[in-house]
């Protein structure tokens, strides 16, 4: 978006006609000054919502229904209950906020159909961009000592989080600070979405993945990201396009990132079987996440002080280390035995999913996200994401022999049940619905299914038959490939969308001609990142609670583009 766009949008927000109390007229009498009860709620309000910039932007954003004294009183009483009660009834607290959230009409992106055909760019252009993206990753590692990723808040919230889902979150999350932030963020998003301020905070964009143009972006390091960047650099080496100096630098970076995943980010937990397991935490202890000193304090104030391991970070870290040829003893653990304690069985351990905001899908056979720490902490409650379960399958395929999955009835049953979960998801069409996903886009699910399918097809035929005797993977492949060819590349894309399309097409056997629109988009978008990076930052993954928090970065886009073009070069460019 141009400066003129934001200037005009800000002017309209600042001069809008005000009808009804603003967020601050509702909350200031209760939360602006610390008082009795839970001190965090007031601290969060002052830190996250009461800052001068947001106050200025929202000062004329009022809700006319709050002109009703009874409704305004009910809302304020809910905030008083959240502030003063040590163990509030979160359904009662959230009720008035949920009613307001349901008045917000947000929509997912719906790009127009692509108007014209695209020709495949020359192979030299593809190779030039691959080299530029590889250089971007290696240059970032050399300059920072790691490859950073960024988080950014979008206060307008997620279209899939209506009033019902807000109440689910308030009742299913564990940490009090996380409940507080969910409550207040969702109250604030109503005032934003129903005012001209929405155009400033949530401007339109091209394609599906959201660009990260928010002014506050939080740089950090996580094993999940290092695992992904490891795979990207391995892909770069496989292209043969890296110079001898880059090859040495890439191998050094890969070794460092695998070490960060398996050693620095290692945490011991206890499984449902009573045994101890080493898993990988979402954020390693300070100072390893590399937050700035300023944000370290802000993070505490906002209620994000406790992090626990998760099944996705663990799976991706083990997979990347396996692909890199690591021999750390942690990889010998039969991780599937641990994951089995987090696998949902209908009517059995379904209560493990305490935040079922995507309950439009059948959880049976899926593995939940968050791992209880040794101290029993589970700040986010638990949820279940389909793309995470692809990562669990993928790491299981890569370690099939090491973990003796085919030789162990319970382990083979565990894997088959995840395959069944994925088959029901895809054959129902729910995989293409953003509401089905907690942390990812449907388009990213397609790319990650391609990654999983590639690992599956690398297995011997007898192993594939034992895992998938009914041909579920082929059924899923056809459905996902059709979605990518008909919907994703059939519409206007940005560079990140196009990279996801290429990864799916390359792994799932897309027709050579179908690569051209995505490759053309990537080549045409080259340079959009300005002087420092080939591409801008886009949404890679997200949190839907406490508000829409996007994670990505320009280096992330470079990595996805690199991997997508490497596959296109092998399959379609020649």
In a domain, 544, yes or no: no
User: What confidence category does residue 193 fall into, taking pLDDT thresholds of 50, 70 and 90?
Assistant: very high
C-alpha dihedral sign at 237, 241, 247, 250: negative
Closest residue by Cα to residue 493 from 516, 529, 517: 517
| Two structure tokens written together for 272 | 């449902």
User: What local confidence, expressed as pLDDT, does residue 295 receive?
Assistant: 54
Domains in the chain: how many in total?
1
Chain position carrying tokens 């395959």: 419
Is 292 a residue whose pLDDT tops 80?
A: no
- Residue 266 dihedral angles phi and psi, to the nearest 5°: -75, 140
Which sign, positive or negative, has the C-alpha torsion 293, 296, 297, 298? Answer: positive
How confident is the model at residue 215, as a pLDDT? 59
C-alpha–C-alpha distance, residues 259 and 263, integer Å: 5
Q: Are 550 and 152 in contact (CB under 8 A)?
A: yes
Cα separation, 45 vs 65, whole angstroms? 22
Nearest Cα residue to 400 out of 342, 451, 320, 466: 466
The residue ranking higher by pLDDT, 232 or 213, is 232
Contact in structure between 476 and 414 (CB atoms under 8 Å): no
Whole-number Å distance between alpha carbons of 497 and 444 = 8
520: its two tokens: 């053309």
In a domain, 75, yes or no: yes
Number of H helices, E strands in the chain: 23, 6
Cα 163 to Cα 433: distance, rounded to the nearest angstrom: 19
Please state the pTM of the whole predicted model: 0.94
| 66 lies in some domain | yes
Q: In this structure, what are the phi and psi dihedrals at residue 376, rounded to the nearest 5 degrees?
A: 85, 10
487 closest CA partner among 437, 561, 434, 538: 434
How far apart CA 451 and CA 468 sit, in angstroms, is 17
Degrees, nearest 5: CA angle 516-522-524? 95
Q: How far is CA 427 from the centre of its chain?
A: 23
* Cβ 17 vs Cβ 62: under 8 Å: no
pLDDT by residue (tens digit) across 93-120? Answer: 999 999 999 999 899 999 999 888 888 9
In a domain, 225, yes or no: no
- Give the pLDDT score at 293: 58
Q: 319 and 396 in contact (C-beta within 8 Å)?
A: no
572 token code pair = 């379609």
Give the helix ranges, DSSP H, for 428-471.
442-457, 461-467
CA 127 from centre of chain: 29
Show the tokens assigned to 500.
Answer: 């996801």
Q: How would residue 287 be classed by pLDDT, with cut points 50, 70 and 90?
A: low
pLDDT tens-digit profile of 327-346?
999 999 999 999 999 999 88
Task: Please give the Cα distance from 106 to 124 (Å, whole number).
Answer: 42
| 340 C-beta neighbours (distance < 10 Å), count | 19
Taking only the tens place, the pLDDT of each residue in 293-340 is 555 555 555 556 667 899 999 999 999 999 999 999 999 999 999 999
Q: What is the mean pLDDT of the chain?
A: 92
Lowest mean pLDDT, pick from 35-39, 50-54, 121-125, 502-506:
35-39
Classified as helix, coil or strand, 309 is: strand
Q: What's the chain's length in residues? A: 574
Q: Is residue 239 part of a domain?
A: no
Domain that holds residue 195: 3-108+174-199
Residues β-bridged to residue 281: 309
- How is residue 274 written in tokens? 């009573």
Residue 60 lies in a domain: yes
The half-sphere exposure of 326 on its side-chain side, counting CA atoms within 13 A, is 28
- For residue 38, tell me if it sits in a domain: yes
For residue 180, being part of any structural domain is answered with yes
User: Which pair of structure tokens corresponds to residue 569?
Assistant: 């070069």
């Amino acid at each position: 978006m141009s400066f003129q766009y934001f200037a005009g949008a800000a002017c309209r927000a600042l001069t809008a006609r005000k009808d009804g109390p603003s967020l601050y007229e509702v909350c200031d009498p209760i939360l602006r000054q610390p008082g009795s009860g839970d001190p965090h709620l007031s601290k969060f309000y002052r830190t996250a919502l009461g800052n001068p910039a947001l106050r200025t932007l929202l000062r004329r954003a009022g809700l006319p229904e709050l002109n009703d004294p009874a409704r305004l009183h009910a809302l304020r009483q809910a905030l008083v209950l959240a502030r003063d009660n040590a163990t509030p009834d979160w359904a009662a607290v959230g009720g008035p906020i949920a009613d307001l959230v349901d008045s917000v009409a947000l929509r997912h992106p719906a790009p127009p159909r692509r108007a014209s055909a695209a020709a495949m760019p020359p192979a030299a252009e593809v190779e030039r961009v691959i080299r530029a993206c590889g250089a971007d990753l290696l240059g970032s590692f050399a300059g920072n000592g790691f490859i950073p990723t960024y988080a950014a808040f979008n206060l307008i919230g997620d279209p899939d989080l209506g009033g019902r889902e807000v109440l689910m979150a308030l009742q299913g999350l564990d940490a009090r600070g996380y409940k507080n932030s969910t409550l207040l963020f969702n109250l604030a998003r109503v005032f934003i979405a129903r005012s001209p301020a929405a155009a400033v905070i949530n401007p339109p964009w091209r394609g599906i993945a959201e660009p990260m143009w928010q002014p506050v972006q939080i740089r950090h390091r996580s094993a999940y990201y290092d695992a992904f960047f490891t795979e990207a650099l391995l892909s770069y080496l496989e292209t043969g396009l890296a110079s001898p100096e880059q090859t040495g630098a890439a191998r050094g970076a890969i070794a460092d990132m695998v070490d960060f995943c398996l050693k620095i980010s290692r945490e011991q937990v206890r499984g449902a079987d009573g045994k101890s397991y080493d898993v990988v935490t979402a954020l390693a202890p300070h100072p390893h996440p590399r937050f700035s000193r300023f944000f370290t304090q802000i993070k505490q104030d906002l209620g994000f002080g406790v992090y626990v391991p998760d099944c996705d970070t663990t799976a991706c870290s083990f997979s990347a280390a396996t692909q890199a040829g690591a021999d750390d003893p942690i990889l010998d653990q039969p991780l599937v035995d641990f994951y089995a304690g987090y696998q949902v069985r209908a009517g059995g351990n379904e209560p493990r999913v305490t935040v079922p905001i995507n309950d439009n899908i059948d959880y049976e056979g899926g593995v939940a996200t968050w791992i209880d720490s040794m101290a029993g902490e589970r700040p986010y409650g638990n949820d279940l994401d389909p793309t995470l379960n692809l990562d669990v399958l993928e790491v299981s395929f890569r370690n099939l022999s090491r973990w003796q999955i085919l030789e162990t009835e319970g382990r083979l049953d565990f894997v088959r049940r995840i395959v069944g979960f994925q088959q029901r998801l895809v054959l129902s069409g729910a995989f293409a619905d953003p509401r089905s996903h907690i942390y990812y886009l449907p388009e990213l699910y397609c790319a990650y299914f391609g990654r999983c399918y590639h690992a599956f097809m690398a297995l011997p035929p007898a192993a594939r038959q034992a895992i998938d005797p009914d041909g579920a993977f082929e059924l899923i492949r056809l459905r996902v490939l059709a979605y990518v060819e008909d919907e994703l590349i059939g519409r206007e894309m940005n560079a990140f969308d196009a990279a996801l399309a290429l990864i799916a097409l390359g792994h799932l056997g897309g027709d050579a001609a179908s690569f051209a629109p995505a490759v053309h988009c990537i080549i045409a978008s080259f340079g959009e990142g300005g002087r420092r990076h080939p591409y801008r930052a886009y949404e890679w993954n997200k949190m839907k609670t406490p508000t829409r928090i996007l994670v990505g970065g320009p280096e992330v886009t470079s990595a996805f583009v690199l991997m997508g073009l490497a596959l296109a070069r092998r399959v379609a460019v020649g």
